[in-house]
Structure 1
């Protein structure tokens, strides 16, 4: 276990009070985030981050199919994670996550994903959580593999980024599998 995982990691509820810090984080890591996240190009100002935070906050109040948190490490905003596309009928959701460049490669995201899996399976009552990551997105795939997600296969042309299609690996974790791993 690396020292980074032992550092205090907090999951903050989304709030517009974090809009400036969130935008600064995105701006500082724009080039690397842009490689795998299609929303980065549309995030051009603090107002765009404010609109995002307002949307996920309003959606949570309205029972939308998304649960979102900001990642804070030692009091510093580090990234974002969500379970989106939540289907109460099927007990499933999709996990999305990102960290700013200066936090990458220290084992932080594995710890954050583990926290969110606990919330997804225990608090939200989900049975299945899926990660879809570009075949060439080695860091994102490594998180899924490190935590024991089952690789289900490759979605041919499953991601569209910057006008091009990319193959994507699909991984899943079931509630019973996660409980057995803990």
Structure 2
């Protein structure tokens, strides 16, 4: 995958050269991230991040069901975004994202998500992209709402995090809706 860049936000292809920095971002924001991301507590070293990046890069080469990018703000790594659970048959997938705490509230995620949606509805030829966010995850839900995703409803106890179930909101965007917004 090639880098996608617009203004100050760039989506970079996954590469193991970013493993140390990626782990540092996760580690510095561990408390915030663990509330909504089940993989955080299993990421204990830069080697874990290296294995993740190597796996994602290999998946991209072999046509996996996930397209992933690293988010950079003015050249500095800030987080990750992906379209996962891609169904080529149904031309659909799920948008997932996270930022290190110090990059939150700066408009980074909205711009990064817009670039990922451009790729999802463009290069990946998807027709539908959904976001699943915990009902109490107000920041993630705000991203979906600012981008114009339609809230479809709630999944009762749809997420299992931190040893307990959480209700989740499901949002979706269709290719035609995205094109009309752009």
TM-score by length of 1: 0.96
Partner of 2:118: 118
Partner of 1:161: 161
Task: Give the 5 Å matches for 1:35-46.
Answer: 35-46=35-46
* Cα distance between partner residues in 1 of 2:75 and 2:181: 29
Partner of 1:147: 147
In 2, are the aligned partners of 1:150 and 1:171 still within 8 Å (CA)?
Answer: yes
* Cα distance between partner residues in 1 of 2:121 and 2:127: 6
* Cα distance between partner residues in 2 of 1:140 and 1:107: 13
**How far does residue 39 in structure 1 lie from its aligned partner after superposition?**
0.3
* Cα distance between partner residues in 1 of 2:107 and 2:168: 22
* Cα distance between partner residues in 2 of 1:39 and 1:98: 12
Partner of 1:24: 24
For structure 1, list consecutive stretches of 5 or more residues without a partner in the other structure: 1-5
Aligned residues: 177
Partner of 2:3: none
- In the TM superposition, what whole-angstrom CA distance separates every residue of 1:25-72 from its partner, at most 9, and x where no partner exists? 100000000110000000000110001001101111111100000000
* Cα distance between partner residues in 2 of 1:93 and 1:8: 26
| Partner secondary structure for residue 63 of structure 1 | coil
Partner of 1:93: 93
**How far does residue 81 in structure 1 lie from its aligned partner after superposition?**
0.2
In 2, are the aligned partners of 1:131 and 1:170 still within 8 Å (CA)?
Answer: yes
* Cα distance between partner residues in 1 of 2:181 and 2:16: 36
Partner of 1:181: 181
TM-score by length of 2: 0.96
Partner of 1:127: 127
* Cα distance between partner residues in 1 of 2:144 and 2:38: 20
**How far does residue 95 in structure 1 lie from its aligned partner after superposition?**
0.5
In 2, are the aligned partners of 1:81 and 1:98 still within 8 Å (CA)?
Answer: yes
Partner of 1:3: none
Partner of 2:137: 137
In 2, are the aligned partners of 1:7 and 1:73 still within 8 Å (CA)?
Answer: no
In 2, are the aligned partners of 1:8 and 1:74 still within 8 Å (CA)?
Answer: yes
